[in-house]
Amino acid sequence: MPLRLIHAESDGLPGLIVDRYAGTLVVQFLSAGPEFWRATIADILLEETGLVSMYERSDVDVRELEGLPSRTAPCAAPIRIHPSPFTNTI
């Protein structure tokens, strides 16, 4: 069953939408603010949910108004293996 975890302005996080489908998070970074913090947000979401799969679906026209490209792909997020951080596409 799908679950909306973050609904942008309604949750005090303008431009960010996060849904959970089974074991995968689907995120939309709709404005420059969340886009700037993209890697940090992805890392926190995966850490807090305990999930390892995240897909970005930032392919809406509103991104063009802020000069952001459309993006639809699996997210790259840091995977921490003690003591060094490694980046992998998940």
How many CB atoms are located within 10 Å of the residue 27 CB? 22
Show the beta-strand stretches assigned E in the chain: 3-7, 16-21, 24-29, 53-58, 71-74, 76-81, 84-89
The strand pair at 3-7 and 76-81 is best described as unpaired
Q: Could you tell me the pLDDT band of residue 10, with boundaries at 50, 70 and 90? A: very high
Query: What is the arithmetic mean of pLDDT over 34-43?
Result: 93
The pLDDT of residue 90 is above 80: no
List, for residues 55-75, the tens digit of each pLDDT value: 999 999 999 999 999 999 887
Q: Could you tell me the pLDDT band of residue 52, with boundaries at 50, 70 and 90? A: confident
Supply the pTM of this predicted model: 0.80
In angstroms, the first-to-last Cα distance of the chain is: 22
Q: What is the pLDDT of residue 61?
A: 92
